[in-house]
């Protein structure tokens, strides 16, 4: 009878431990899922921030290109004007006549 009592107590202890182990596994699984979701959310936010920075950088490059084109056009116009003035002076003619040549 004593062996039976010890065996029953051991079985009850094993069942209790397996129940605790199952609860622990469930808690660990929930924690892992939560951590995975946190990582996924952080990755999504980082991707969105990277996209936003990329868009800002592209806009800055476009703006710089437009300004460069504008400055090049102004420089070309100034050079053309100065060339016409030099030709007019050289040929004793008006700047308009030099531009027409």
- Span 29-59, pLDDT tens digits: 788 788 788 888 889 999 999 999 999 999 9
Given a contact cutoff of 8 angstroms between Cβ atoms, the answer to whether 20 and 12 are in contact is: no
Q: 19 phi and psi, to 5 degrees? A: -65, -45
Can you tell me the mean pLDDT for 65-88?
A: 95
Half-sphere exposure of 59 toward its Cβ, with a 13 Å CA cutoff? 6
Contact 66, 57 (CB under 8 A): no
Q: What is the Cα–Cα distance from 71 to 65, expressed in whole angstroms?
A: 10
Residues of the domain holding 67: 2-100
Number of domains in the chain: 1
Of the pLDDT bands very low, low, confident and very high (cuts 50, 70, 90), residue 6 is low
Of 83, 20, 10, the C-alpha closest to 95 is 83
Highest mean pLDDT among 35-39, 58-62, 83-87: 58-62
For the segment 81-90, the average pLDDT, to the nearest whole number, is: 92
């Amino acid at each position: 009878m004593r062996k039976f009592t010890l065996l029953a107590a051991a079985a009850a202890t094993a069942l209790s431990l397996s129940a605790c182990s199952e609860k622990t596994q469930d808690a660990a699984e929930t924690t892992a899922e939560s951590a995975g979701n946190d990582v996924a959310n952080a990755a999504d936010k980082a991707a969105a921030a990277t996209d936003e920075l990329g868009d800002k950088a592209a806009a800055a490059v476009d703006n710089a290109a437009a300004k460069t084109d504008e400055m090049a056009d102004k420089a070309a116009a100034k050079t053309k004007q100065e060339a016409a003035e030099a030709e007019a002076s050289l040929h004793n003619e008006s700047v308009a006549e030099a531009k027409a040549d």
